[in-house]
Chains A and B, each alone.
Chain A
Amino acid sequence: MRNDHEAVVVEQHVHRDDVGARMGMWLFLFTEVLLFGGMFLVYAVYRYQHTNDFRLAAMELNTGIGTLNTIILLTSSLTVALAIAAIQKKNKFLSILLLSVTILFAFMFMVNKYFEWSAKFEHGIYPGSEELLNRSNGQILFFGLYYVMTGLHGLHVIIGVVILLFILVFIIRDKVTFDNYVKLENAGLYWHLVDLIWIFLFPLFYLIQ
């Protein structure tokens, strides 16, 4: 009996450092913050320099679609946070469901983005277009920043979807369980960062009056 008990104890001793894993993820997120921070800095200086042009150009963006995408991303942040709570409560099915909903929201976001960008392209507003180059410098800069910053953000959404899909498979195959879910936590952290960046992009591009 005693030997059996000891065997169980040895088996329980896993070589894993979840705090370290999360800290590594946070350090990576800080580099992401600095990457976007640099772009927000460029935005801030040019907006200061071309206040009126930025206002004129921003009025052409679709506030409705921007608001809808904000709601979609905030809700997807909720579902990924709930997916972690579900796996902690040993509810594998609910966790899989919530993670799938998160991925669905991400696709909805990208579909909206596609329609938004297509509409701009149809109006002849894209980097280097004749229509845009005939405008003032401030407006050219605004749309340049709009495409680069929402584009890089969109790229992060796509990377986030790939990561969340991997985690979904891990949960289904019991590689991520109620006792070992740091991979889900870290994927969630990445997804929340995507949401965080959008929280700032939204008022700075869509809500200038």
Chain B
Amino acid sequence: MQHENPKHKHHHPGYGTYILVWLALLAFTSITVTIAGVNLGRYTLFVALLIAAIKSSLVVNIFMHIKFEEKIFKVFLALSGMTLVVIFALTFFDFIYR
């Protein structure tokens, strides 16, 4: 029973790392709520989305272990992310220049 399963050899962070990431996520949440009250004009949406993107990358990399997975996982993730970006870009291109 002492033999660890070799399939689970990839290392994972300990309790401390997860708690640090959680604190960072809470900090970013309070930042985004505070900033929403400040009038940044046309940059408001950009800042809100930027903070959301930072929070997601923390969740995906650490909580969802993508940082510690094999390379192919990262390729798949990038591919689906790019698909979404292309769909958004093409739709707005069509919508704005119609």
Residues of A whose CB lies within 8 Å of any CB of B are: 12, 14, 16-19, 22-23, 26-27, 30, 33-34, 37, 41, 44-45, 48, 63, 67, 70-71, 74-75, 77-78, 81-82, 84-85, 88, 179-181, 185, 188-189, 192, 195-196, 199-200, 202-204, 207-209
Q: Please determine whether A196 and B59 come into contact, CB atoms closer than 8 angstroms.
A: yes
Question: Which residues in B have their C-beta under 8 angstroms from that of A78?
Answer: 18-19, 21-22, 63
Shortest beta-carbon distance, B15 to chain A, in Å? 6
Q: Report the number of A-B residue pairs with Cβ-Cβ less than 8 Å.
A: 118
Cα(A82)–Cα(B21), bound, Å: 12
Secondary structure dominating the interface of B: helix
Q: Please determine whether B52 and A209 come into contact, CB atoms closer than 8 angstroms.
A: no
Cα(A189)–Cα(B77), bound, Å: 13
Q: Please determine whether A34 and B7 come into contact, CB atoms closer than 8 angstroms.
A: no
Cα(A169)–Cα(B22), bound, Å: 26
Q: Does B76 contact A (CB under 8 A)?
A: yes
Given known A-B contacts A17-B7, A207-B48, A209-B44, A45 and B91 have beta carbons under 8 A apart: yes
Q: Please determine whether B5 and A195 come into contact, CB atoms closer than 8 angstroms.
A: no
Question: Of A16, A41, A180, which is within 8 A of B87 by CB?
Answer: A41
Given known A-B contacts A17-B7, A34-B80, A78-B22, A209 and B39 have beta carbons under 8 A apart: yes
Q: Please determine whether B12 and A192 come into contact, CB atoms closer than 8 angstroms.
A: no
The 0/1 profile, CB within 8 Å of A marked 1, for residues 6-27 of chain B is: 0110001111001101100110
Q: Please determine whether A207 and B33 come into contact, CB atoms closer than 8 angstroms.
A: yes
Report the interface size class on chain B.
35 or more
Q: Please determine whether B64 and A85 come into contact, CB atoms closer than 8 angstroms.
A: no
Q: Please determine whether A203 and B14 come into contact, CB atoms closer than 8 angstroms.
A: no
Given known A-B contacts A77-B59, A85-B18, A45 and B92 have beta carbons under 8 A apart: yes
Shortest beta-carbon distance, B65 to chain A, in Å? 8
Shortest beta-carbon distance, A19 to chain B, in Å? 7
Cα(A21)–Cα(B88), bound, Å: 30
Cα(A196)–Cα(B21), bound, Å: 14
